[in-house]
């Protein structure tokens, strides 16, 4: 990116319970309408405000900021798109494997969960002062996981899903997509994992079911967690500024003896055209280099202009519900129409009713 004249800013922000924690005592101590709970999101907004004030000194253009991230970074990008206070701090966005479907919740519900978690640690009657005096390690090690952006009714007034469904998300050019092997997030296979797969999925995923329970469960997970939400976000966004949908299935030369799917986060080294520790230079093939040049070139063009002028004239039309066309970055990169439509439609029908969409 830097060689192409693009300034890249990476940021730190509070994570886990230090970044997204709520408790009735903190709510009671806060001023009316004072943001609370989404401290990690506040950090990200502060970073974007810093960029707006200072990036010109580094050769950047504060009017041409692209906010992007992968996995939790993709989820954060979606949260920023749904946060009114962040609008105007960026001109476009990229969501790599960030999902798009978020269960509805409230500040009160998250505060109740925080209260129960601290009570289990022996802090049942904690005041706001008591909570702020707790060592950070006691929160990090004691209250479990599952922390991320949530509707607090103040800073983030609704889930990103609700904002996109209602047309209230920031209307900026958007790239969104997912990988073929997102099921790497499931970890090692355990037979009981099949219990999370609805019985009717065996008909929709007939080919995968024929290969066994593990293949079925992993395909369902990938579609439910990342694939179907990415397509849905592209559909919601497409009525405004252009959105582009992708699917990344390219497996690097080094990994082909072990897998035929692109694991969660596998696209990052291609987007950045950087190999690092995960893939030593001795294991990088010319095919790998070509994929990295293509993806990095597409992302760089988008960051510069908000359009997809990809290297080599690679076509990538903006997404539309009628055409349902995406670009698959694979061994043979090509446009795909109606890609896995039956599977993704199945996931939408099962999940959207539970998201409290307007």
Alpha carbon distance 41, 150 (integer Å):
10
User: Are residues 233 and 340 part of one domain?
Assistant: yes
Q: Is residue 159 part of a domain?
A: no
∠ CA 209-349-94, rounded to 5°: 90
Give the residue from 93, 117, 149 where a domain finishes: 149
Which whole-number Å values give the CA distances from 27 to 67, 83, 154, in the listed order?
30, 20, 11
Q: How confident is the model at residue 246 (pLDDT cuts 50, 70, 90)?
A: very high
Q: Is residue 207 part of a domain?
A: yes
**3-state DSSP of the chain:** CHHHCCCCCCCCCCCHHHHECCCHHHHHHCCCCCCCCEHHHHHHHHHHHHHHHHHHHHCCCCCCCEEEEECHHHHHHHHHHCCHHHCCCCCEEEEECCCCCCCCCCHHHHHHHHHHHHHHCCCCCCCHHHHHHCCHHHHHHHCCCCCCCCCCCCCCCCCHHHHHHHCCCCCCCEEEEEECEHHHHHCCCCHHHHHHCCCCHHHHCHHHHHCCHHHHHHHHHHHHHHHHHHHHHHHHHCCCCCEEEEEECCCCHHHCCCCCCCECCCCHHHHCCCCCCCCCHHHCCHHHHHHHHHHHHHHHHHHHHCCCCCHHHCCCCCCCCCCCEEEEECCCCEEEECCCHHHHHHHHHHHHHHHCCC
User: Are residues 192 and 135 part of one domain?
Assistant: no
Give the residue from 149, 183, 203 where a domain finishes: 149
Mean pLDDT calculated for residue range 114-121: 93
Q: Is residue 350 part of a domain?
A: yes
Q: How confident is the model at residue 236 (pLDDT cuts 50, 70, 90)?
A: very high
User: Are residues 42 and 144 part of one domain?
Assistant: yes
pTM, to two decimals: 0.96
Q: Is residue 164 part of a domain?
A: no
User: Are residues 179 and 136 part of one domain?
Assistant: no
pLDDT tens profile 202-213 = 999 999 999 999
Q: For residue 242, what pLDDT is reported?
A: 98
pLDDT over 80 (residue 279): no
Least confident of 121-130, 269-278, 340-349: 269-278
Of 293, 250, 287, the C-alpha closest to 272 is: 293
User: Are residues 113 and 220 part of one domain?
Assistant: no
Q: For residue 122, what pLDDT is reported?
A: 92
User: Are residues 124 and 47 part of one domain?
Assistant: yes
Give the residue from 92, 121, 149 where a domain finishes: 149
pLDDT over 90 (residue 278): no
Q: Which CATH number fits the domain that encloses residue 183?
A: 3.40.50.1820
User: Are residues 99 and 111 part of one domain?
Assistant: no
276 vs 62, residue with greater confidence = 62
User: Are residues 295 and 276 part of one domain?
Assistant: yes
Q: Is residue 161 part of a domain?
A: no
Token representation of residue 302: 């988008």
Q: Is residue 155 part of a domain?
A: no
User: Are residues 203 and 127 part of one domain?
Assistant: no
User: Are residues 223 and 123 part of one domain?
Assistant: no
User: Are residues 175 and 97 part of one domain?
Assistant: yes
Q: For residue 325, what pLDDT is reported?
A: 98
Q: Is residue 162 part of a domain?
A: no
Q: How confident is the model at residue 276 (pLDDT cuts 50, 70, 90)?
A: confident
For the chain, the domain total comes to 2
User: Are residues 217 and 196 part of one domain?
Assistant: yes
Look over the chain and give the mean of its residue pLDDT values, rounded to a whole number: 96
The percent of residues in the chain predicted with pLDDT above 70, rounded, is 100
Q: Using CB atoms within 10 A of its CB, is residue 58 exposed (0-12), middle (13-18) or buried (19+)?
A: exposed
Which residue range forms the structural domain that includes residue 2? 1-61+106-149
Q: Is residue 236 part of a domain?
A: yes
> Do residues 264 and 97 touch, judged by C-beta distance below 8 A?
yes
Backbone angles phi, psi at 179, to 5 degrees: -105, 160
Alpha carbon distance 106, 159 (integer Å):
10
């Amino acid at each position: 990116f830097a060689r192409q004249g693009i300034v890249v800013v990476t940021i730190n922000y509070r994570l886990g319970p230090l970044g997204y924690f709520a408790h009735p005592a903190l709510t009671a101590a806060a001023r009316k309408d004072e943001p609370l709970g989404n401290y990690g999101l506040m950090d990200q907004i502060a970073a974007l405000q810093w960029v707006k004030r200072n990036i010109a000194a580094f050769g950047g253009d504060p009017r041409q900021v692209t906010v992007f991230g992968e996995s939790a970074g993709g989820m954060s990008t979606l949260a920023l798109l749904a946060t009114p206070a962040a609008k105007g701090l960026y001109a476009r966005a990229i969501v790599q494997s960030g999902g798009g479907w978020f269960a509805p919740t409230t500040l009160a519900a998250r505060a109740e969960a925080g209260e129960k978690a601290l009570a289990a640690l022996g802090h049942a009657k904690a005041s706001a002062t008591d909570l702020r005096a707790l060592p950070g390690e006691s929160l990090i090690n004691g209250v479990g996981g599952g922390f991320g952006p949530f509707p607090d009714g103040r800073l983030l007034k609704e889930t990103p899903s609700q904002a996109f469904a209602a047309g209230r998300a920031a209307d900026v050019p958007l790239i969104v997509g997912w990988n073929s092997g997102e099921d790497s997030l499931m970890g090692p296979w355990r037979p009981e994992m099949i219990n999370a797969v609805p019985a009717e999925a065996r008909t929709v995923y007939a080919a995968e079911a024929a290969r066994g329970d593990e293949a079925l469960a992993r395909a369902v997970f990938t579609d439910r967690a990342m694939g179907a939400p990415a397509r849905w976000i592209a559909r919601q966004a497409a009525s405004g500024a252009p959105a582009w949908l992708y699917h990344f299935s390219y497996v690097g030369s080094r990994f082909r003896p072990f897998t035929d799917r692109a694991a969660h986060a596998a696209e990052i080294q291609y987007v950045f055209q950087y190999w690092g520790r995960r893939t030593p230079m001795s294991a990088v093939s010319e095919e790998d280099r070509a994929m990295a040049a293509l993806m990095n070139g597409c992302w760089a063009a988008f960051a510069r202009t908000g359009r997809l002028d990809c290297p080599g004239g690679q076509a990538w039309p903006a997404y539309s519900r009628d055409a349902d066309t995406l670009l698959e970055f694979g061994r043979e990169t090509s446009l795909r129409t109606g890609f896995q439509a039956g599977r993704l439609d199945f996931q939408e029908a099962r999940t959207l009713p539970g998201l409290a969409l307007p």
